Amino acid sequence: MYSTKAYLQKPDKQGIGRIYIRYTYDRKTNAISLDRKIEEYKFDSKNGLVYNKYPEAESLNSAIRDAQKLIEQVAASLRVPEFVQVKKGYLERTAELNIQKKQERYNRIIPDLYNHFEAEEIPQQIKEYQEKINELLVKQRELSKKGYKNESVEELEFRNYLAEYPDTFNSKSKSAKAHIKVWIKVLLEFSEKTNTQLTYNVFDYKFYDSYAKYLMYDSEHKYYNNNFGNHVKRLKAFLQWLEDDKGVTVINKGYKKYKVLKEEIEIIYLTSEELELLWNYRNEVEAPFVKYIDLCVFGNLTGLRYSDIKRSYWKIENGFLQGKTKKTKGNYQIPLKLDSRIEEILKKYNYNLNLVSSVKFNKYIKIICGELFKKNEINQIPIPICRYKLKDEFITYHLKHKLIASHSSRRGFCTRLWQDGWSERDILLMLGSKSNDVLRKYVRNSTEDLLRKVNEKVKQKVAPNSEAQLN
């Protein structure tokens, strides 16, 4: 059996919520928007109606009952009243009734106007209608300020699903949920500024092209391919969630072919010589800045992501720094003998390196490296960085210290070990990863591969010559 009942969506900051009709069948619950709003305190959630003492109760309760009746009529006409079919039938029937009501209104108004609009009365009639229009315009502006908008039922439902979406990720971190909320905010902003309706039939190539143009060229975001690709990936995941979890039919399947653009970003890192200069520079900076240097050196010596350093979830056993990575849940194990400074820094801070946020670290390590490079008269030539927007190439120039950040440490760790002849297997074992793609992500410069091969060839040539001399 099926049942219906009205309920109020979670109210906004003004205490106003949308009215929905909950449809339950076979113990599965879904909802259809009534396209009406009301203050929370006026709604009787127990009975699913507006309290009769309020002026709007009669019209809203009538709309609720009519909607329930129509939904139940559609359900009764179906052999298997699944929500998707019930909703489709309800929307179609609602559209038919709206057209019918407009026609009836038209049939009433036109004869009245025709019969009463005598020539001498026309100016007065125009004046009265204009006054009525002005009143309606004022009312419309007032409602807009309160959050009421002239949106279709479908778009209101779409926006409601967007609001619900972040809370479905119970297993995700706060930062992951924050990224999803940012994506939703930007999508709604795109919809409003480009006058794009968010409905289930809009997601074709034209939408993709407009979305890309807005995020990369027309807005304050000025995204490149990587950032735009992340937004497209989240949009595709959301639309798939609508179909899989909500039983919504996304009419235009073009979204499934949306390309998630990616680009290889040049990650700048500190060389061994620069890392030594930075370590020794601790004696010259003011005391509050020493911790930034220690964190940077520790990251370079261990290859740990900044999130794992800040988390400080590790133990030392058999001469190894061991723990589980936060991002991939891999088991890293760093030999303390790689460098004595690893344990020195750990002991200095009592094994807790949760010292500053990543935002602060990225800000101040740039400043420190900038002063260090200037003092030693190195890295004063800007580095060209190539980025892409779709297929358009953009080259910008930056001094090296401006490109140093938390992820530079992991790149430096992998590159130095690779150049020193460590095998991929050994480096991955330290990082707590099984994929060679992870290593190639941090060691991908052709010059670094060539340097490694040249060093190997030189060693091979030196070895036979040494043996010949001994003989």
Closest CA to 334 of 438, 435, 422: 422
Arithmetic mean of pLDDT, 39-46? 91
Of 32-46, 105-119, 330-344, 418-432, which has the strongest mean pLDDT? 330-344
- pLDDT, residue 322, reads 95
**Do residues 430 and 303 make contact, with C-beta atoms less than 8 angstroms apart?**
yes
Q: Which residue has the higher pLDDT, 421 or 148?
A: 421
Instruction: Spell out the alpha helix ranges (H) of 303-403.
Output: 306-311, 340-348, 358-375
Average pLDDT, the chain: 85
**Helix or strand or coil: residue 123?**
helix
Using CA atoms of 15, 18, 21, 27 in order, give the dihedral in degrees to the nearest 10: -70
| Separation of alpha carbons 439 and 35, rounded Å | 52
Residue-wise pLDDT for 75-130, tens only, equals 998 988 999 999 999 998 888 888 887 777 666 655 555 555 555 566 776 777 66
With contact defined as beta carbons under 8 Å apart, do 196 and 208 qualify?
Answer: no
Tell me the sheet residues that pair with 388: 393
Mean pLDDT computed over 276-292: 96
Span 169-180, pLDDT tens digits: 766 667 778 889
- pLDDT value at residue 50: 92
Query: 349 near 343, Cβ under 8 Å?
Result: no
Distance CA(129)–CA(135), nearest Å, equals 10
Report whether pLDDT(136) > 70: no
Q: Percent of the chain, pLDDT > 70?
A: 84
Decide if 42 contacts 51 (C-beta within 8 A). Answer: yes
Q: Could you tell me the CA-to-CA distances from 238 to 82, 152, 191, 454 in Å, in that order?
A: 22, 20, 16, 49
Banded model confidence at residue 471, pLDDT cuts 50, 70, 90? low
Separation CA 49–CA 64 (nearest Å)? 7
What is the residue type of 453? K
The structure's pTM equals: 0.58
Q: Per residue in 294-350, pLDDT tens? A: 999 999 999 999 999 999 999 999 999 999 998 888 899 999 999 999 999 999 999
Mean pLDDT of 424-448: 75
Rounded-to-integer distance, Cα 156 and Cα 152, Å: 6
The count of other CB atoms within 10 Å of the CB of residue 462 is 10
